[in-house]
Structure 1
């Protein structure tokens, strides 16, 4: 009985990783670089991927040491950049880092509200102090009202900065 090799045979990432002896993550990166081959349905082409990976290894082996070092440096830089990007995404999701547009929007809202509250102070306080002759009592009423406005301004509310974080999740799916 003669076995016919199907050069269009596809396989799962996990199986291909076992055959080649690499992690699934490494294979995904090699796939992004075009070394590991997929068909138009996103399935991994077994024989073409293995052949391409062997050629890749031969190329690395025949590449002068300086080029290998340069490629390694580029890979390290890529990983560092990816890690920085992931850290930024985490800080955004945890509301420890805000986009400039969010800060501008929130600060404009806070300042507008603060301005409005300051502008209403004379109208709120005039009726309260109109009949008071004691300067200390007038100062206390004014101070209490100003401190109330300042207290509201000083309260940081991280929920004001939160917005739809869907773009971070979408970006994660593209990386996989």
Structure 2
């Protein structure tokens, strides 16, 4: 007779499975482990118990508890979230992605600078245009001063400033070398 065909008591099965007799009876009452008048066919009981505790495969694959399924699902979600976070950080480090916060800070600083220069324009332009002979010369001089003020708005400079801030936040310097984690986090 094969050892798996042996019929054993709850205490023998409990010792074999490494659980308490009480747990064996609970699993029997839940219909997880089949019994025959309080006795258990060893092969059937071990197979049923292992299917019940099978991680990752869950109930759809022939066993597993609801708790094991939800724990496995939570682990998968956590691993996926961690992978997504690492991908986003890598994209920032390569300069392919920036955080909206970085864009807001850099654009805000540039706009504040341009605003200050525009507000200073009348004070700066008044003495220059005062002595000009005609309207055409005044217009040309004011156009020149406005172009000078707007020179800081070059798209490449804005893009470079945002990418540089993103790299610093991700722990990289402007040249791509690793900085300290604190430097990246505090940017």
TM-score (ref. length: structure 1): 0.48
Q: Relative contact order (C-alpha < 8 Å, sep 6+): which is higher?
A: 1
Structure index of larger Rg: 2
